[in-house]
Amino acid sequence: MIQTEEKVRLQKIIARAGISSRRKAEDLIQSGQVTVNGAVVTTLGTKVDPAHDHIKVSGKHLPAPAPDTFLILNKPAGVVSTLQDPEGRPTIKHMLPKPSLRLFPVGRLDFDSEGLLLLTNNGEVAQACLHPSHHVLKTYLIKIKGILQDSEILQLKRGLPLEDGPTAPAKVRKAGKAEANSWVEITIHEGRKHQVKRMLEYLGHPVIRLKRIQFGPLNLGSLPLGKSRFLTDKEANSLRQLLVPGKPTARRVSPRRIKPARWAESKRSPRDQRKTRN
């Protein structure tokens, strides 16, 4: 088959169709679940002409590419960051405006964490957001046990020797304190499992609450807990810039500050709010 400029990598076309992320599309190809013009294709990087070649995934014709859709959700704690859960726990699916949309989360938030979660049907953008080479920054507002000392902040800024390797330097600022606990704001670009929690536990400050308030150029702002909204054209285009070679990475912009005390009180009853906070 002669290669032409119109031809595109197979995994890229599958991702564009909204079936999966590009990484998952590669798994589908390698496992023999993709055919082109009736022939099974297992070689990554194979290029096809989406206008003329007939592509099937798991025996079904590839649907026409759906329009790009981007959504952010303010995920509550106690909810799984997926559309289905084999353990039967509550998921984010019922919080989406149109359950029929084939959206998938970009990365995850822990079951007991809350805050900004991005969902999209654009597998290429999703992969770019998570790829370490793009250094997409993520900012968390965290309530910890104890008071973070200046020397510990310096350690976070320099990097910590965790069991899976040293962490990259983090941005840290104190965001408030109470009688026995305190609030900090931490920005990182890595995406290791439970990373922020492990960083603070290493310093002897277990995390009590964790909320993501920023993801690259996206700001949680005043989006209510459990609610979602579609991105503006400007926000969506800022994510697409990740796919343009030589363009600046979608980095953090100054977020609207969330006062920890107000955040904590918003989820408590009036009776509880009259009690002294720890």
232-254 tens-digit pLDDT: 999 999 999 887 776 555 544 44
- Tell me the average pLDDT across 15-43: 88
Domains parsed from the chain with CATH numbers:
8-61 (3.10.290.10), 70-265 (3.30.2350.10)
Q: Is the pLDDT of residue 123 over 60?
A: yes
- Dihedral through CA 163, CA 117, CA 121, CA 20, nearest 10? 30
Structure tokens belonging to residue 67: 């329009």
- Rounded to an integer, the average pLDDT of 139-167 is 95
The pLDDT, as a whole number, for residue 275 is: 41
**Terminal C-alpha separation, the chain:** 69
Q: Return mean pLDDT, the chain.
A: 84
Cβ-contact 109, 75 below 8 angstroms:
yes
For residue 143, give the nearest of 257, 273, 260 by alpha carbon. 260
Identify the CA nearest to 166 among candidates 187, 142, 190.
190
Q: Are 184 and 211 in contact (CB under 8 A)?
A: no
Instruction: With a cut of 60, say whether residue 273 has pLDDT above it.
Output: no
Tell me what the mean pLDDT of segment 256-277 comes to: 46
Q: Which of 53, 110, 164, 272 is catalytic?
A: 110
Cβ atoms of 229 and 220 closer than 8 Å? no
Contact call for residues 65 and 18 (beta carbons, < 8 A): yes
pLDDT value at 132 more than 90 = no
pLDDT at position 272 is 43
Residues with Cβ within 8 Å of residue 103, at least 6 apart in sequence? 69, 71, 96, 119, 120, 121
Integer-rounded Cα Rg, in Å, for the chain is 21
For residue 110, indicate whether it is catalytic.
yes
**3-class DSSP assignment, residue 140:** strand
Does the pLDDT value for residue 151 go beyond 90? Answer: yes
pLDDT of residue 1: 36
pLDDT of residue 7: 84
Task: Using the predicted structure, report yes or no on whether residue 222 has a pLDDT greater than 90.
Answer: yes
Per-residue pLDDT, 68: 86
The whole-number pLDDT of residue 172 equals 96
